[in-house]
Amino acid sequence: MEPKKLFLIDALGALVSAFMLGVVLVHFEAFFGVPTRVLYFLAALPCGFALLDMLFYKASAAMNRRGLIIIGVINIAYCILSLALAYTHIASITSWGWIYIVGEVLIVLLIAFYELKVARTLAL
């Protein structure tokens, strides 16, 4: 897949995550059990990731490899942070909350590892 398309896919995914965390899950906080402040914090991060994706999308092709590596590593770090924050609120998060969090983490990890795989195929 072309790196530019990956940046767009990642940006779109980040915006979906931000919307789900910052709007949908907040609205149904009692159902998911994740505290609002945690949801807003986690929602803010993908907004920044989407901006970074757009910067790499607009950058020269020479930045594709570096951009994919940066985005891939940031996505993995976001997954670790999401799980760590969820774990700190283990008593309040419902089964549905865990299903959402683990599902999002799995999707983001798949994208991140694919970004890193594509980055390895690009010339140095």
Q: What is residue 75's predicted lDDT score, i.e. its pLDDT?
A: 98
71: containing domain: 3-121
Region at 33 (left for phi over 0; alpha for psi -120 to 50; beta for the rest): left
Q: What is residue 62's predicted lDDT score, i.e. its pLDDT?
A: 85
pLDDT in tens, 11-36: 999 999 999 999 999 999 999 999 99
pLDDT in tens, 66-106: 999 999 999 999 999 999 999 999 999 999 999 999 999 99
Provide the angle, in degrees to the nearest 10, between the axes of the packed helices 3-19 and 95-121. Answer: 170
Q: What is residue 1's predicted lDDT score, i.e. its pLDDT?
A: 81
Q: What is residue 82's predicted lDDT score, i.e. its pLDDT?
A: 98
d(CA 95, CA 33): 9
Q: What is residue 124's predicted lDDT score, i.e. its pLDDT?
A: 66
Its pTM stands at 0.93
Query: What is the tally of structural domains in the chain?
Result: 1
